[in-house]
C-alpha cells in the first residue's frame, strides 16, 4: 500500500471513529471534557512507560485510559462539591494532570523518546512506516489496524446503546427512573471516548483528536433537527474533512493533522453562515421576510382604516406612504410591490386600493391586533 493511501485511510478512520461519538458529546455539552481527557493522558502514558520499564504499547494504552477515566471521576467529584461548577472543575483537573505528566517526563525521562510535540500534534505522516508484526509476520501498518478497531468499537457502542445514550442525554431523570443508570452510561461513554482518544492521538495528536470529536458534530447540529441524521452527518463531515484536509496538506506541503483540523473548522464556518435553518444568512433572511410581511399588514390595515373616509384620497396615495407610515421611499416601494405581487392591492395612478383578498387579510390582521 502506498504511503499516501495509508495516511488518507488513517485520517478518514480516525475522523469516523471520533465523529461517531461526537453528537452525544455535543448534546451533553462535554466538548471541554474531551479536551481535558486528551491532555490528561500524558501522565498515564508516563506511568505505563514506567511500569513496563520502557515503551510498551499495551502498558501505555492501559495507563492512558486509566488516567483519562481518573480525570473524568475527579471532575465529577469536584463538581459534586457544588463549589466548583462545570467548566471550572475541568479547568482545574486537566492542567494539573498534564503538568504532572510534563513534570515527570522532564525529571525522570529526559533522555527518553516521549516528546510532547508528538503527543500534541501526532505524526500521521509516518503512519505507513509503523508496521504491525505478529510472530514476525508483517500485517501492514499498525495505525490502520488501530483506527479500524476504534471505528468498530464505536460503531458497536453507538449501535447497541443508541436508545440508552439518547435517553440518558435527553432526560437523565427518566433514564434513572426507568432503570438505565445515567452514571453507568456516562462512564461507559467516557471510557469509550478515552480509548478512542488514546488510540487516535498517536496518529493525529491531542489537539486534532478534540477537533474531530467536537467540530463535525457541532457542524451537523447546525444542519439537522434529528439525532440519527446528526450522527450520520457528523461521520460524513469528519471523513470529508480528512480527505480535503489531506489534499490541502499535500498541495501546500503543510502538516496533515493541522490541515485536517482546519478543514473541520472551515466546514463549521460554512454551516454557521449558510445552514438552511440555523445559519446566519437564513436567519437574517427570515427576519427580513418577517419585517416585510409585517409591513405589508400594516399597509393593508392603514388602507382599510381610511377606506370610504373623507381623507381617503390623501391617505391612500402612494406618494404619501413614506410620510404617513414613516417609511423610507425605497422600503415603501418594496412593501407596495410585495403586496401587489400577492394581489392584495392594486395601484391606479397614485391611488392604492385594497383587493378583495387584501381587505380580508387586513380585517383578519386588525381582529388579531384588537385581541392583543
Closest to another protein by CB, 6 or 230: 230
Q: How far is the CB of 23 from another protein (least distance, A)?
A: 8
- For 96, the enclosing helix (H) or strand (E) is helix 86-108
Helix/strand/coil for 317:
strand
DSSP category for residue 277? T
Beta bridge partners of residue 347, listed in sequence order: 352
163 binding another protein? (CB under 8 A): yes
372 binding another protein? (CB under 8 A): no
Residue window 196-225: x/- pattern of binding to another protein, with contact defined by CB under 8 A:
-------------------------x--xx
Q: How far is the CB of 276 from another protein (least distance, A)?
A: 14
Q: How far is the CB of 155 from another protein (least distance, A)?
A: 15
Beta strand 137-141 with 131-134: parallel, antiparallel or unpaired?
antiparallel
CA-based end-to-end distance of the chain = 72
CA distances from 68 to 36, 187, 205, 334 (A): 8, 11, 15, 60
- Binding span for another protein by CB under 8 A among 177-185, 189-197, 282-290, 307-315: 177-185
**Residue whose entry in the numeric block shows the C-alpha cell 455535543:** 26
Q: According to CB under 8 A, which one of 6, 89, 161, 203 is a site residue for another protein? A: 161
Closest to another protein by CB, 35 or 164: 164
Beta strand 351-354 with 131-134: parallel, antiparallel or unpaired?
unpaired
273: closest CA among 282, 264, 265, 263? 282
SS (H, E, C) 213-225: HHHHHHHHHHHCC
Residues 6+ apart with CB under 8 A from 267: 215, 216, 219, 237, 240, 241
Binding-site size for another protein (CB under 8 A) equals 26
170 binding another protein? (CB under 8 A): yes
Q: How far is the CB of 59 from another protein (least distance, A)?
A: 33
H and E: helices and strands count for the chain? 15, 4
Q: How far is the CB of 176 from another protein (least distance, A)?
A: 5
167 binding another protein? (CB under 8 A): yes
187 binding another protein? (CB under 8 A): no
Closest to another protein by CB, 171 or 337: 171
Q: According to CB under 8 A, which one of 171, 293, 363, 369 is a site residue for another protein? A: 171
Q: How far is CA 112 from the centre of its chain?
A: 38
DSSP category for residue 19? H
186: closest CA among 38, 332, 24, 47? 24
Q: How far is the CB of 158 from another protein (least distance, A)?
A: 12
Q: According to CB under 8 A, which one of 143, 154, 169, 259 is a site residue for another protein? A: 169
Closest to another protein by CB, 158 or 339: 158
194: cell is 478515552
160 binding another protein? (CB under 8 A): yes
Q: Which of residues 45-104 bind another protein (CB under 8 A)?
A: 82
320 binding another protein? (CB under 8 A): no
Instruction: Report the C-alpha gap between 195 and 66 in whole angstroms.
Output: 9
Residues constituting the chain: 372
110 binding another protein? (CB under 8 A): no
Q: According to CB under 8 A, which one of 45, 195, 230, 352 is a site residue for another protein? A: 230
* Contact present, 59 and 190 (Cβ < 8 Å): no
Residues within the interface to another protein (CB under 8 A):
27, 82, 160-164, 166-167, 169-171, 173-174, 176-180, 221, 224-227, 229-230
Amino acid at each position: 500500500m502506498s504511503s499516501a493511501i495509508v495516511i488518507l485511510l488513517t485520517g478518514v478512520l480516525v475522523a469516523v471513529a471520533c465523529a461517531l461519538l461526537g453528537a452525544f458529546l455535543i448534546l451533553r455539552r462535554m466538548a471541554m471534557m474531551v479536551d481535558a481527557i486528551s491532555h490528561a493522558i500524558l501522565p498515564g502514558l508516563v506511568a505505563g512507560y514506567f511500569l513496563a520499564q520502557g515503551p510498551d504499547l499495551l502498558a501505555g494504552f492501559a495507563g492512558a485510559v486509566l488516567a483519562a477515566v481518573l480525570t473524568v471521576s475527579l471532575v465529577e467529584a469536584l463538581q459534586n462539591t457544588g463549589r466548583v461548577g462545570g467548566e471550572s472543575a475541568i479547568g482545574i483537573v486537566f492542567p494539573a494532570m498534564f503538568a504532572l505528566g510534563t513534570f515527570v517526563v522532564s525529571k525522570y525521562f529526559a533522555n527518553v523518546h516521549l516528546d510532547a510535540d508528538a503527543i500534541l500534534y501526532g505524526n500521521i505522516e509516518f503512519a505507513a512506516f509503523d508496521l504491525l508484526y505478529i510472530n514476525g509476520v508483517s500485517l501492514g501498518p499498525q495505525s490502520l489496524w488501530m483506527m479500524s478497531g476504534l471505528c468498530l468499537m464505536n460503531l458497536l457502542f453507538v449501535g447497541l446503546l443508541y436508545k440508552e445514550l439518547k435517553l440518558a442525554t435527553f432526560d437523565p431523570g427518566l433514564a434513572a427512573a426507568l432503570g438505565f443508570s445515567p452514571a453507568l452510561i456516562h462512564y461507559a461513554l467516557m471510557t469509550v471516548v478515552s480509548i478512542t482518544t488514546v488510540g487516535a492521538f498517536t496518529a493525529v495528536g491531542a489537539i486534532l483528536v478534540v477537533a474531530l470529536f467536537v467540530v463535525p458534530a457541532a457542524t451537523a447540529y447546525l444542519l439537522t433537527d434529528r439525532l440519527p441524521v446528526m450522527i450520520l452527518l457528523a461521520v460524513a463531515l469528519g471523513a470529508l474533512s480528512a480527505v480535503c484536509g489531506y489534499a490541502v496538506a499535500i498541495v501546500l506541503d503543510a502538516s496533515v493533522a493541522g490541515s485536517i483540523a482546519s478543514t473541520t473548522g472551515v466546514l463549521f464556518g460554512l454551516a454557521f453562515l449558510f445552514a438552511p435553518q440555523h445559519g446566519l444568512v437564513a436567519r437574517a433572511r427570515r427576519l427580513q421576510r418577517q419585517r416585510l410581511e409585517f409591513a405589508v399588514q400594516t399597509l393593508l390595515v392603514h388602507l382599510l382604516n381610511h377606506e370610504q373616509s373623507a381623507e381617503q384620497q390623501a391617505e391612500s396615495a402612494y406618494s404619501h406612504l413614506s410620510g404617513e407610515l414613516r417609511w423610507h421611499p425605497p422600503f415603501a416601494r418594496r412593501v407596495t410591490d410585495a403586496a401587489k405581487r400577492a394581489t392584495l392591492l392594486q395601484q391606479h395612478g397614485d391611488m392604492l386600493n385594497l383587493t378583495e383578498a387584501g381587505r380580508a387579510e387586513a380585517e383578519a390582521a386588525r381582529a388579531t391586533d384588537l385581541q392583543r
